[in-house]
Amino acid sequence: MSDTVEANIGTYREPATTSRSASFWPTGWWRLMDYKIGIISLPIYVILVGLLAILTQQGQIKPDAPTMIAVLVLGGFTCAELGRRLPVLRNIGAAAIFATFIPSALVYYKLIPAPIEKSISPSPRISSMSISQPSSSAASSGWTATFSSRDFSRSSCRSA
């Protein structure tokens, strides 16, 4: 047994020293890919933040599904990551609380850029609907929903 140990010691060579940039590619890159914010890898997160910043600056944010998924994912996961890193509050669910309420507070206090807020906020047609409870009078038979008159335009109403 001591012969094999001596043989292994004799054949051991020091690894070749490589430059720092050459060693980044396979191992350093995958280390970056393993660091996640929510479920998004760090390089993808940085690319999405950069793209949304450029689109917002140019006013090109569209209310389509892929753009809104990116906005909501970035906002939700960023707030959840902040809540997950707070020392005491992370034990009582700060990640879920932050992901739920911080984006709403940012919209309420107008801290989100106007093009993004415009594309993620509900339309006035949806927000102008009101539902009232049934009254105690005998004429009312249940719940009633009222819409303001500006909700329906002539182009959206079809004649029979």
In a domain, 8, yes or no: no
Does residue 145 belong to any structural domain of this protein? no
Q: Kindly indicate the confidence band of residue 27, based on its pLDDT and cuts at 50, 70 and 90.
A: confident
- Residue 21 sits at φ, ψ, to 5 deg, of -70, -30
- The pLDDT, as a whole number, for residue 81 is 93
Residue 67 forms part of a structural domain: yes
Residue 50 placed within a domain: yes
Range of the domain at 59: 36-120
Per-residue pLDDT reduced to its tens digit, 42-60: 999 999 999 999 999 998 8
Q: Nearest to residue 98, comparing CAs of 72, 125, 75, 119?
A: 75
Question: What pLDDT shows up at residue 82?
Answer: 92
Q: Is residue 10 part of a domain?
A: no
pLDDT of amino acid 57: 92
pLDDT for 152 equals 47
Prediction pTM value = 0.60
**Residue 136 covered by a domain:** no
Contacts of 1 (CB under 8 A, 6+ apart): none
Q: Is the pLDDT of residue 7 over 60?
A: no
Q: What angle do CA 69, 71, 104 make, to 5 degrees?
A: 110
Q: Write down how long the chain is.
A: 160
Helix 42-58 vs helix 65-84: angle between axes, to the nearest 10 degrees? Answer: 120
Which residues are CB-contacts of 86 (< 8 A; sequence separation ≥ 6)?
A: 94
For residue 151, the model assigns a pLDDT of 47
The SS3 assignment for 110 reads: coil
**pLDDT digit string, tens, across residues 126-154:** 544 555 555 555 455 555 555 554 544 44
Q: Are 138 and 116 in contact (CB under 8 A)?
A: no
Q: Is residue 7 a part of any domain in this protein?
A: no
**Which pLDDT does position 47 carry in this prediction?**
95
Residue 53, domain member (yes or no): yes
Domain count, the chain: 1
pLDDT tens for 69-104 read 999 899 999 999 999 999 998 899 999 999 999 988
